[in-house]
Amino acid sequence: MLAGGQSLMAMLNMRFAFPDHLVDINGLQELGYIRDDGSAVHIGALTRQRDVEFSQVVKDRLPLLAEAILQVGHRQTRNRGTVGGSLCQLDPAAEIPSVAMAMDAVITVANQGGTRQIAMTDFPAGYMTPSMEPDELLTDIMFTPWPAGHGWSFLEYARRHGDFAIVSVAVLLAPGADGSIARASITLGGVGSGPVRMTDAEALLVGSRGNAAFDAAAAACGLIDASSDSYVPAWYRQRLARVLTRRALDTALSRIAR
């Protein structure tokens, strides 16, 4: 399936993909939308990343996604790249899948027999492999906004702006009535075969007011079983995970409406 082509064309160029046929789905204009139904924000699979970048609905309701989208490639990339294409590609370092994981997004896929929904936690089936059947097409992504007054932060480290992130971190914090952290979400990207939700680190934050709990959560993220390659060793990714998580937590806390 050819949507924006920002991943597929590069894979064809590097001889990583050998499809017998390409099916251009850009004519399916009904799959390009951003809709707020009050309880959730729905983004169509063919929505351009550039449309997400300039959407007031996204800025108001999904600030984590609004911040992360600015790290996706360059302006030319976002002009053509689609939200659904990034999710189906499932590159471990991609920003949109990390945000979807952090926000517990729900993916809708369809075939001739109907539609079904897949929780983002169940969507990755392996390295760059979504849990979709060969005859299914991703159609909709549902994001449930966090409550008003929550804090957020998306940070990543790459060699150059626009390059794939070596490590990224997405953080969400929601305060309780007493001012302590009532809910937390931490997702690391670039460290493994896909985005990783750090539930153990999240648990360390609930009921706290930051400081020592932030140090403990960042340290827990630094212990992740990170991948290693010819460019970046695992220990370097672990260190980045710890440092970026600590910074993101501070930023998210500073954005909580008091």
d(CA 199, CA 184): 9
Average pLDDT over all residues of the chain = 95
Report the pLDDT averaged over residues 80-93.
95
CA 213 to chain centre: 24
Q: How confident is the model at residue 10 (pLDDT cuts 50, 70, 90)?
A: confident
CB atoms closer than 10 angstroms to residue 247: 16
Residues 168-222: tens digit of each pLDDT: 999 999 999 999 999 999 999 999 999 999 999 999 999 999 889 999 999 999 9
Residues 36-68: tens digit of each pLDDT: 999 999 999 999 999 999 999 999 999 999 999
Residue 186's DSSP bridge partners are 171
Q: What per-residue confidence (pLDDT) applies to 9?
A: 85
pTM for this entry: 0.95
- Whether the pLDDT of residue 243 is over 80: the answer is yes
Q: What per-residue confidence (pLDDT) applies to 258?
A: 60
List Cβ neighbours of 78 (8 Å cut-off, separation of 6 or more): 48, 49, 50, 53, 69, 72
Identify the sign of the CA torsion 134, 140, 141, 142.
negative
- Whether the pLDDT of residue 99 is over 70: the answer is yes
Q: What per-residue confidence (pLDDT) applies to 11?
A: 86
Share of the chain above pLDDT 90, in %: 88
Q: pLDDT: is 135 or 164 the higher one?
A: 135
